[in-house]
Amino acid sequence: MKHGLLVLAVLLVAGCGGSSEQTFTNPVLNVDFPDPFVLKVGDRYYAYATNGNDKQVQTATSKDLVHWTLGPDALPKVGTWDFPGSTWAPEVLSRADGTYVLYYTASSGTQCVGRAVASTPLGPFVDSFSGPLVCQKGDGGSIDPDPFDGYLYWKNDGNSIGQPTRIWAQRLSPDGLRLVGLRRAIEQNGNQVWEGSVVEGPTMWKHDGRYYLFYSGGDYANDDYAVGYATCKGPLGPCTDAPENPILKTSCRAHGPGQNSLIEVGDQTWIVYHAWLPNHRGDKRVLWIDKLDWQDGKPVVHGPTCTAQAAP
């Protein structure tokens, strides 16, 4: 009898173990949270997003990339050079001294990129500068900053004035507060049909010693908005668009996915992005995550996924 009970107990434990894998179903944050960027500090993930919900820079925190808690306004007071309520596409750099730099887009009549500093990932960040970090007024302005590996990447907003849009790269000073050295355009719209008149939302990434520039293209308000990538010979290019672009596009309940960031969880790369709900229901862009694998030197996105997936 005891032997039978022992066997039953083992079977029950094995059965529970076989079904214990944690799963998630997109979207992982079903609120308006556009242009997401994710930073890991310690055992916690910090997400930042475009203004909304009465905040200049929205924040959220998570321990697993799946369950998110909305946080405070990271930039409760904008710089003296820009207007409240016009902050977009924030990203954060973690500095060696334990402080943080927030890069954000804001309007001063023309859209420009500013920076602000804080001692914690959630801020409050303070922009104590008299002007923006970069503002290409003759090219329509500068938006969508992305700090990576000692460089800053951004887009000139040429489509706002009927001119070409390009993604630019320039080295950052060691403190991350100034641009130094040569500035180069490393991507331009029109190389592929799907891009339309826009390339934007750059995310530079390095894998196995190679540089990859991820970017969004098309009209952000339409279902044809999507994500592609280019391979680059170095942080300042030159870059070559991948023939298989776009690698993330409208599918299932994710409409017009774009403005991605990347994050590593162990050996697995994850892509974090926003997407409209079907028919733009609620007029909000919500937060999605999906696996990104590297196959023969190419990034392959497994998504958008609408069914239960293994959690990070």
Number of domains in the chain: 1
Token pair listed for 250: 């409208």
45: pLDDT confidence band, cut at 50, 70 and 90? very high
The answer to whether residue 3 sits within a structural domain is no
Task: Indicate whether 2 pLDDT > 60.
Answer: no
C-alpha separations of 310 from 47, 269, 304 in Å = 21, 13, 14
Given this model, what pLDDT does residue 108 score?
87
Token pair listed for 305: 């996924």
Nearest Cα neighbor of 91 from 285, 227, 291, 261 is 261
Given this model, what pLDDT does residue 38 score?
98
Task: Indicate whether 21 pLDDT > 50.
Answer: yes
Given this model, what pLDDT does residue 279 score?
85
Which residues lie closer than 8 Å to 167 by C-beta, 6 or more apart?
153, 154, 155, 185, 186, 187, 188, 199, 200, 202, 213, 215
HEC-encoded secondary structure of the chain:
CHHHHHHHHHHHHHHHHHCCCCEECCCCECCCCCCCEEEEECCEEEEEECCECCECCEEEEECCCCCCEECCCCCCCCCCCCCCCCCEEEEEEECCCCCEEEEEEEECCCEEEEEEEECCCCCCCECCCCCCCECCHHHCCEEEEEEECCEEEEEECHHHHCCCCEEEEEEECCCCCCEEEEEEEEEECCCCHHHCCCEEEEEEEEECCEEEEEEEECCCCCCCCEEEEEEECCCCCCEEECCCCCCECCECCEEEEEEEEEEEECCEEEEEEEEECHHHHHHCEEEEEEEEEEECCEEEEECCCCCCEECC
The answer to whether residue 15 sits within a structural domain is no
Given this model, what pLDDT does residue 71 score?
98
Q: Which residues pair with 218 in a beta bridge?
A: none
Q: What is the mean pLDDT of the chain?
A: 93
Each residue of 105-159: pLDDT tens digit? 999 899 999 999 999 999 999 999 999 999 999 999 999 999 999 999 999 999 9
The answer to whether residue 146 sits within a structural domain is yes
Given this model, what pLDDT does residue 12 score?
40
Task: Indicate whether 8 pLDDT > 70.
Answer: no
Cβ–Cβ under 8 Å, residues 88 and 104:
yes
Per-residue pLDDT, averaged over 291-305, amounts to 97
What residues make up the domain containing 101? 22-310
Given this model, what pLDDT does residue 158 score?
95
Q: How far apart are CA 275 and CA 35, in angstroms?
A: 9
The answer to whether residue 167 sits within a structural domain is yes
Each residue of 186-217: pLDDT tens digit? 999 988 999 999 999 999 999 999 999 999 99
Cβ–Cβ under 8 Å, residues 189 and 200:
no
pTM as predicted: 0.93
The answer to whether residue 10 sits within a structural domain is no
Q: Which long-range contacts (CB under 8 A, 24 or more apart) does 95-99 make?
A: 95/175, 95/176
Task: Indicate whether 17 pLDDT > 60.
Answer: no
Give the Cβ contact number of residue 277 at 10 Å: 16
Q: How far apart are CA 217 and CA 201, in angstroms?
A: 8
Given this model, what pLDDT does residue 7 score?
39
The answer to whether residue 9 sits within a structural domain is no
Task: Indicate whether 63 pLDDT > 60.
Answer: yes
The answer to whether residue 2 sits within a structural domain is no
Share of the chain above pLDDT 70, in %: 94
The answer to whether residue 148 sits within a structural domain is yes
The CATH number of the domain holding residue 159 is 2.115.10.20
Task: Indicate whether 300 pLDDT > 70.
Answer: yes
20: pLDDT confidence band, cut at 50, 70 and 90? low
Each residue of 69-90: pLDDT tens digit? 999 999 999 999 999 989 999 9
Q: How far apart are CA 300 and CA 242, in angstroms?
A: 12
Give the Cβ contact number of residue 274 at 10 Å: 28
